[in-house]
């Protein structure tokens, strides 16, 4: 990896952005013997997944907690990637220190579920079995180029037909159940199946990530199914370790990665891309440009609306990117111990008493406020990665869903501090003497996420995960990675199949390009 600005060889492909998807695309294209350069504006790669020191001696593992959704096709094991066998257990904590250590595996989960009367043991087992059965279909959807639903060519009909056949292969009962559940609200669906409010709230949290939604919003059950069907073992060492192995894979294949190089515009001649211009004034020429930054930034800022037909411009402006997630990193001078399970080293925890409580948080966000009882999505990276804090200390990352980008009155230092205080107060209700253990804290509001990572609206997934925006992402004209500009492709989380630690948008975009080239030659 270089951060020199005098690296001006000629390349076949320029990739804008060295986040997970830019690196994944670079790996695939470089393995196909194309000359690839990745241009990253920051001094480090990894984008939203990059781990960083937020206080001397304390590192975050990036803003990301959950690495269970990584798709396997990139063959990163030879570059050091390891995964746990199953998704890690999560401690769900509610009022009065009631807690549930929720294991993914229903047999392991049973004894904990018994503590709440046992009525959810069977339903949890049924829930997991259903997820297992629909996994092949769901994984197929997120691993391939999406069908062109409005296309009329033979290939389009074949793709739609084979998607239909794969759905029907689930069997009538599961197919109907999937079609019924997808558009439902996650609250209605979980209420139908389970009784324990704490279990329901804990299961609902991932369904809300990246959506401008509360648990009672329609379509959030679809987001839960997407999350659950993708979940496998977590990456050992978290997103930091994933970034390292992607860099090794991309460089081993011959890709050049340049940091500290911000692309200021995409160069076009006669509706065909010719390269990019960087903020240092240097152009980098290439016949193919893949943009892993978000679609609004790519099309409206780097390309420019003048290059788009009015309908395409209108569609990309309408694409929804209302950030709703904030992060608080805490440096603690001791291990984090929850009063509910003081003897356990807990790596992942979720607070949130009930679905109603989660909905109230969203209610506040809708009206431009943040709630003082928001659920906390907690990760302690120093458990898996002891180097991320001094010995005996810990670093703690907390994600808060329901913090609006468009805060009433706007974000400033005082409001950022207020958010930090609110989160610490919330966490203190589950952890004794927290205040005295805090060495430092870092608060990232959605506005901070926007300015730090260059993502419009500070949106964690480069665009909301509403069902409509998952079906056609980001717009019809760009839904299959190609854009109206010849040679310009999207390859970040704002493309199919959406955001998260999957590396799928970068991987499929690159494969799509190779297939097209293969067909042409």
Ligand X SMILES: Cc1cc2nc3c(=O)[nH]c(=O)nc-3n(C[C@H](O)[C@H](O)[C@H](O)COP(=O)(O)OP(=O)(O)OC[C@H]3O[C@@H](n4cnc5c(N)ncnc54)[C@H](O)[C@@H]3O)c2cc1C
Give the footprint of ligand X on this chain (CB under 6 A).
Answer: 16-22, 39-42, 47-49, 63-66, 69, 262-263, 292-293, 297, 302, 325, 327, 399, 449, 453-455, 460-462, 492-493, 499-501
- Angle, helix 121-143 to helix 172-181, in steps of 10 degrees: 90
* 8 A C-beta contact, residue 240 and residue 385: yes
The residue (of 34 and 70) whose beta carbon lies closer to ligand X is 70
Question: Is residue 426 helix, strand or coil?
Answer: helix
Judged by beta carbon, residue 17 or residue 94, the one nearer ligand X is: 17
Q: Which residue has the tokens 């159940």?
A: 177
- Residue 46's nearest CA partner among 311, 266, 241, 271 is 241
- With respect to ligand X, which residue has the nearer C-beta, 23 or 121? 23
**Nearest residue (CB) to ligand X, 46 versus 197:** 46
379 vs 393, beta carbon nearer ligand X: 379
Distance in angstroms (rounded) separating the CA atoms of residues 144 and 141: 6
Nearer to ligand X, 121 or 289 (CB): 289
Q: How far is the CB of 496 from ligand X (least distance, A)?
A: 12
Rounded to a whole number of angstroms, the minimum distance from the CB of residue 254 to ligand X is: 20
Q: Which is nearer to ligand X, 156 or 262 (CB)?
A: 262
- Least spacing, CB of residue 325 vs ligand X, in Å: 5
User: Shortest gap between Cβ of 259 and ligand X (angstroms)?
Assistant: 9
Closer residue to ligand X in complex, CB, 324/434: 324
Give min distance, CB of 498 to ligand X, in A. 8
Task: Find the shortest distance in angstroms from Cβ 25 to ligand X.
Answer: 9
CA–CA dist 61, 51 (Å, integer): 4
- The label of the residue with tokens 């390309």 reads 303
Q: From the CB of 156, what's the least distance to ligand X, in Å? A: 26
Instruction: Specify the 3-state DSSP secondary structure of 351.
Output: strand
Task: Select 87 or 219, whichever has its Cβ closest to ligand X.
Answer: 87
Which string of b and e fits 178-194 if b means at least 16 CB within 10 Å? beebbebbbbbbbeebb
Please enumerate in sequence order all residues whose Cβ is within 8 A of that of 372, keeping only pairs 6 or more positions apart, or say none: 422, 425, 426
Give the 3-state secondary structure of 233-258.
Answer: CCECCHHHHHHHHHHHHHHHCCCEEE
Q: How far is the CB of 47 from ligand X (least distance, A)?
A: 2
Distance CA 355, CA 202 (A): 9
Nearest approach in angstroms of CB 452 to ligand X is 8
Rounded to a whole number of angstroms, the minimum distance from the CB of residue 448 to ligand X is 10
> Between residues 16 and 340, which has the closer beta carbon with respect to ligand X?
16
Instruction: Say which DSSP state 143 is in.
Output: H
The SS3 assignment for 211 reads: coil
Closer of 186 and 293 to ligand X (Cβ): 293
Six-digit token pair at 169?
């292969």
Residue 516 CB neighbour total at 10 angstroms:
13
Compute the least distance from the CB of residue 258 to ligand X, in Å.
9
**Residue 85 in tokens:** 């066998």
Closest separation in Å from C-beta 449 to ligand X: 5
Closest distance between ligand X and the C-beta of residue 402, in Å? Answer: 13
Burial class (CB in 10 A: 0-12, 13-18, 19+), 80: middle
Quote the strand ranges of 202-295, DSSP E: 256-258, 263-269, 272-278, 283-285, 288-291
For ligand X, the closer of residues 326 and 364 by Cβ is 326
- Intra-chain end-to-end CA distance of the chain, in Å: 32
Q: Which CB, 94 or 499, lies closer to ligand X?
A: 499
Facing residues of 490 across strands? 291
Nearest residue to 363 via CA among 199, 219, 191, 212: 212
Tell me how far apart the alpha carbons of residues 314 and 252 are, in angstroms, rounded to a whole number: 41
Distances (CA, A) of 261 to 253, 334, 372, 417: 21, 39, 40, 32
Kindly list the distances between the CA atom of residue 40 and the CA atoms of 20, 33, 251, 278, in Å, as whole numbers in the listed order.
12, 21, 15, 10
Sheet of strand 488-490, all strands in order from the earlier edge strand to the far edge: 256-258, 36-39, 13-16, 288-291, 488-490
E strands, 20-122, are: 36-39, 52-55, 58-60, 90-93, 99-102
């Amino acid at each position: 990896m270089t951060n020199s600005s005098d690296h001006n060889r000629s390349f076949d492909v320029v990739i804008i952005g060295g986040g997970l998807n830019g690196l994944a695309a670079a790996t695939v294209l470089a393995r196909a013997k194309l000359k690839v350069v990745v241009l990253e504006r920051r001094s480090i790669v990894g984008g939203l997944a990059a781990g960083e020191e937020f206080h001397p001696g304390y590192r975050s593992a990036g803003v990301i907690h959950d690495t269970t959704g990584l798709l396997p096709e990139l063959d990163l094991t030879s570059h050091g990637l390891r995964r746990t066998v199953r998704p890690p257990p999560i401690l769900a904590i509610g009022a009065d220190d009631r807690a549930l250590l929720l294991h993914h595996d229903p047999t392991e989960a049973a004894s904990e579920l018994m503590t709440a009367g046992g009525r959810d043991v069977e339903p949890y087992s049924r829930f997991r079995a259903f997820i297992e059965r629909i996994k092949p279909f769901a994984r197929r959807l997120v691993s391939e180029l999406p069908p062109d639903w409005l296309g009329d060519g033979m290939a389009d009909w074949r793709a739609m037909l084979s998607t239909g056949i794969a759905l029907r292969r689930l069997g009538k009962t599961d197919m109907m159940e999937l079609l019924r559940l997808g558009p439902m609200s996650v609250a209605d669906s979980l209420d139908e199946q389970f009784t324990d409010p704490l279990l329901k709230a804990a299961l609902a949290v991932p369904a809300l990530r990246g959506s401008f939604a509360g648990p009672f919003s329609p379509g959030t059950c679809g987001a839960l199914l997407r999350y659950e069907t993708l979940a496998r073992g977590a990456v050992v060492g978290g997103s930091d370790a994933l970034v390292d192995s992607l860099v090794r894979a991309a460089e081993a294949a011959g890709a050049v990665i340049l940091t500290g190089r911000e692309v200021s515009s995409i160069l076009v001649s006669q509706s065909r891309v010719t390269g990019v211009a960087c903020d240092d004034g240097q152009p980098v020429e290439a016949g193919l440009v893949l943009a892993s930054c978000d679609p609004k930034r790519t099309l409206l800022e780097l390309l420019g609306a003048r290059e788009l037909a009015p309908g395409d411009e209108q569609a990309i402006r309408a694409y929804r990117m209302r950030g709703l997630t904030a992060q608080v990193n805490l440096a603690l001078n001791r291990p984090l111990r929850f009063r509910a399970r003081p003897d356990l080293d807990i790596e992942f925890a979720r607070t949130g008493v009930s679905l109603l409580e989660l909905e109230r948080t969203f209610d506040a966000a809708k009206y431009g406020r943040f709630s003082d009882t928001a659920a906390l999505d907690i990760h302690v990276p120093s458990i898996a990665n002891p180097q991320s804090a001094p010995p005996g200390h810990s670093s703690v990352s907390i994600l808060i869903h329901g913090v609006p980008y468009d805060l009433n009155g706007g974000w400033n230092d005082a409001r950022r501090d207020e958010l930090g205080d609110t989160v610490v107060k919330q966490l203190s209700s589950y952890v004794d003497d927290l205040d005295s253990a805090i060495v430092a804290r870092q608060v990232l509001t959605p506005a901070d996420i926007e300015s730090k990572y260059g993502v419009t609206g500070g949106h964690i997934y480069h665009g909301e995960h509403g069902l409509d925006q998952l079906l056609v992402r980001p717009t019809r004209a760009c839904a299959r990675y190609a854009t109206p500009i010849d040679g310009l492709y999207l390859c970040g989380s704002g493309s199919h199949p959406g955001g998260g630690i999957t590396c799928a948008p970068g991987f499929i975009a690159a494969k799509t390009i190779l297939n097209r080239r293969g067909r042409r030659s």
